[in-house]
Structure 1
Amino acid sequence: MGLRFILVLLCCLAGAAHAEPAGPVPHKAYLSLIIDDLGQSLPRDRRVLALPGPVTAAIMPDTPHATEFAREAHRAGKTVILHMPMDPATGPFAWHPELPVEELARRLDAAFRQVPYTAGINNHMGSRMTAQPAAMAWLMEELQRRHKFFVDSRTSAQTVAAQQAQKIGLASVSRDVFLDDERTEAAIFTQLQTAISLARKQGSAVMIGHPYPQTLVVLERELPKLKAQGIEWIDIRQMISVRGNRATAAHGKDGVYR
């Protein structure tokens, strides 16, 4: 009886070893969300903090509630980043190509003082500024020194910001989808679906939106459905880790930013 049991067990194990796998292991699909232009209206911006997940709060330094809202976002457990104005943006903090590095540094210091608890920065506008290799190289070195990451909003195809970050190994990531260039609920929903499709295709997608009423309505309705769709919504710092500082196919070749 004992010998028969052993033989049967060995046959079962041999069969299991040659059995077909149950099916392909599904690929992970990650999404991260940044909401820009915060700090202007506390009632509006608090709706962002109420979104059900790890939204990143990008706060502008030249807004009336920048410091107060940064503290609120930090207390709410959200990642806070400095939404740094760059040319063609204007104002006392804005970076412009003609400014000397000493003035760039002064404006960056002042902006960080206005927005406490920052883990990193992304650019507000900046189509001209992010195309400046020397200034972007200086910025990435400065962020490395401060132990902060960089998110390239990619407001221009000529941006070299992520490229300069990658050169020195600074933790960084690039935006894939703008949600609300067109401020209608239908268009924003379509952009969200684009981001979901992209995440499924390439494994991850970084979305940037704004605290427009239409955007918040769509996000409040659709974000709770992500998990059921097989999408994992992760913090921007986790996204940087997931991507490992490598460019996606839309932003570079073989992981290297163009």
Structure 2
Amino acid sequence: MRYLLCLLFCVLAGVAQAAPTNKAYMSIIIDDLGQSSERDHRTLALPGPVTMAIMPDTPHATDFARQAHKAGKTVILHMPMDPATGPYAWHPGLPLPELASRLDAALAKVPYAAGINNHMGSRMTAQRDPMTWLMGELQRRHLFFVDSRTSAATVAAAQAQAVGLAHVSRDVFLDDERSVEAIDRQLRQGVELARRQGSAVLIGHPYPQTLQVLERELPRLKAEGIVLIGLTQMIAERGNQAMPAHGKHGRYSNR
């Protein structure tokens, strides 16, 4: 009997030791790439699976998309939307064929894009019919969507969820305030959010201050219990569910 109890104790101890611990996942996207080779290359050198969001109307968009893909980074199209301007930008009132044409042209400028996120778009992402069409189109193309949530009125993620499109929503902006101290605070907020809800999606820009903070802090995340993952894995982790700040019971509020 003593032998059996000892054996049972050893088995249970082994199971407890092998039991997976709760993970805190983080994904980081850097927007507005393609404008400056110096900033692009510095961003590309960031450690880990940092996502490169490339604007189509920039001088280095196509070349940098190829470089980032070759380096093993996830590339997404940073799609201009109203109030953004330019030849690719989506605006309320544009006919559907024009929206489709601009999307085609933008994707052609950013090869290897695995998905898209909105550049600006506070007005456009609140337009239900165009967002519904966009999510269906991305589904047809096997691309995912990241709602940058530049407005609380966005319906983009809700429409993605409605059609079953692979997507996530941004939780934290890193650099609305461009100081090292403020960016560091925002990164800390992302760390705490990842610990609290299991995951956090952060968006930043290739500002010198942002890159300085990320170059210093990304190598330290593992020691803090934070696992940096790519967007595809983040989408799988979240399972197309809304985070508590964006809805209730996994469903987005703006439905």
Q: TM-score, normalised by structure 1?
A: 0.94
Residue 225 of structure 2: aligned partner? 230
The 3-state SS of whatever aligns with 2:195 is helix
Gaps in structure 2 of 5+ consecutive residues: none
> How much does 1:44 deviate?
1.1
Give the Cα–Cα distance (whole angstroms) in 2 for the partners of residues 43 and 16 of structure 1.
57
Residue 135 of structure 1: aligned partner? 130
Residue 10 of structure 1: aligned partner? 4
> How much does 1:13 deviate?
3.2
1:39 partnered with 2:34: yes
> How much does 1:26 deviate?
3.5
Aligned amino acid, residue 124 of structure 2: M
1:117 partnered with 2:112: yes
Give the Cα–Cα distance (whole angstroms) in 1 for the partners of residues 178 and 63 of structure 2.
27
For 1:148-163, list aligned pairs within 5 A.
148-163=143-158
> How much does 1:186 deviate?
0.2
For 1:24-63, list aligned pairs within 5 A.
26-63=21-58
1:90 partnered with 2:85: yes
Aligned amino acid, residue 245 of structure 1: N
Residue 195 of structure 2: aligned partner? 200
The 3-state SS of whatever aligns with 2:31 is strand
Give the Cα–Cα distance (whole angstroms) in 1 for the partners of residues 145 and 107 of structure 2.
14
Give the Cα–Cα distance (whole angstroms) in 2 for the partners of residues 228 and 94 of structure 1.
41
Aligned amino acid, residue 181 of structure 2: A
For 1:206-225, list aligned pairs within 5 A.
206-225=201-220
Give the Cα–Cα distance (whole angstroms) in 1 for the partners of residues 115 and 227 of structure 2.
22
1:100 partnered with 2:95: yes
Gaps in structure 1 of 5+ consecutive residues: 1-6
Give the Cα–Cα distance (whole angstroms) in 2 for the partners of residues 140 and 126 of structure 1.
15
1:81 partnered with 2:79: no
> How much does 1:67 deviate?
0.5
Give the Cα–Cα distance (whole angstroms) in 2 for the partners of residues 18 and 221 of structure 1.
41
> How much does 1:99 deviate?
0.2
Give the Cα–Cα distance (whole angstroms) in 2 for the partners of residues 199 and 65 of structure 1.
33
1:169 partnered with 2:164: yes
1:255 partnered with 2:238: no
> How much does 1:113 deviate?
0.7
Give the Cα–Cα distance (whole angstroms) in 1 for the partners of residues 75 and 20 of structure 2.
34
Note closer, same or farther for the CA distance 1:64–1:28 as it changes in structure 2 (3 Å cut).
same
Give the Cα–Cα distance (whole angstroms) in 2 for the partners of residues 190 and 229 of structure 1.
15
Give the Cα–Cα distance (whole angstroms) in 2 for the partners of residues 186 and 132 of structure 1.
36
**Percentage of identical aligned residues:** 71
Give the Cα–Cα distance (whole angstroms) in 2 for the partners of residues 78 and 16 of structure 1.
44
Correspondence for 2:66 among 71, 90, 93: 71
Residue 234 of structure 2: aligned partner? 239
Q: TM-score, normalised by structure 2?
A: 0.95
> How much does 1:10 deviate?
1.6
Give the Cα–Cα distance (whole angstroms) in 1 for the partners of residues 165 and 4 of structure 2.
54
Counting matched residue pairs gives 252
Give the Cα–Cα distance (whole angstroms) in 2 for the partners of residues 18 and 32 of structure 1.
35
> How much does 1:8 deviate?
3.2
Higher-Rg structure is 1
Aligned amino acid, residue 232 of structure 1: V
